[in-house]
Amino acid sequence: MTTSDNERLLKMAAALAANPRGTIKEIAESAGISKATLHRLCGTRKALEHLLFQKSSDAVEDIICVVDKKHTDFEKGLEELIDVHLKYHEYIQLFFAYPEMAKEYNWSKYLESIDQFYLQGQKEGFFKIEFSDAFFSELFVSTVCGLIDAVDRGRVAPRGLTQSIKTFLLHGCGNPAAKYREA
């Protein structure tokens, strides 16, 4: 596929995620392409869904490859992990629009990889030990995916998003100079 075809697929993935019950015509219009172009690329809605689900699965495999690298610098690894999620955000949104797809296409392997990244970071002393790997993975996925959605809705600017997410995950949103009461 050409670069322009890949860009069209990303737009179609975003359109399908935003309107899972949309017609082929609505998806094409939302993606900014003609119905004829969509038909040339995939033919039917079922073929479109299959193609986009496969591209989403490939994107998750790419994310898993980043997560599974041997990290010696976990701060840099966290940045890479955030960046690769932002790179494939349209495909990730499909997993949330189609939860049944997530079961079929590598989602559990994806979560296990993030769990392992966090556990390895704990062993190296980078991440806190009082949080479980599942807690970190769910917090990470919820934060990244929630902010991807916020960018798409125009509530959050995409500029500096990787750094903002990393800062939030590593330092929270509390002011270190503030005095907090223990609950």
Domain contains 39: no
| The predicted structure's pLDDT at residue 182 | 64
Rounded to 10 degrees, the C-alpha dihedral 147/60/67/140 comes to 30
More confident residue, 11 or 102: 11
Domain contains 77: yes
Q: Categorize the per-residue pLDDT at 181 as very low, low, confident or very high, splitting at 50, 70 and 90.
A: low
Asked if the model's pLDDT at residue 172 lies above 90, the reply is: no
Q: Categorize the per-residue pLDDT at 3 as very low, low, confident or very high, splitting at 50, 70 and 90.
A: low
Buried b (16+ CB within 10 A) or exposed e, 76-87: ebbebbbebbbe
Domain contains 10: no
Domain contains 157: yes
Q: Taking residues 154-167, what's their average pLDDT?
A: 94
Q: What is the CATH number of the domain that holds 133?
A: 1.10.357.10
Domain contains 2: no
pLDDT tens sequence across 83-133: 999 999 999 888 888 888 777 776 788 899 999 999 999 999 999 888 899
Q: What range defines the domain where residue 90 resides?
A: 53-171
pLDDT tens sequence across 66-94: 999 999 999 999 999 999 999 999 998 88
Asked if the model's pLDDT at residue 60 lies above 60, the reply is: yes
Non-local CB neighbours of 117 within 8 Å, separated by 6+ positions? 67, 68, 71, 77, 81
Domain contains 46: no
Q: Which backbone phi and psi does 166 adopt, to 5 degrees?
A: -60, -45
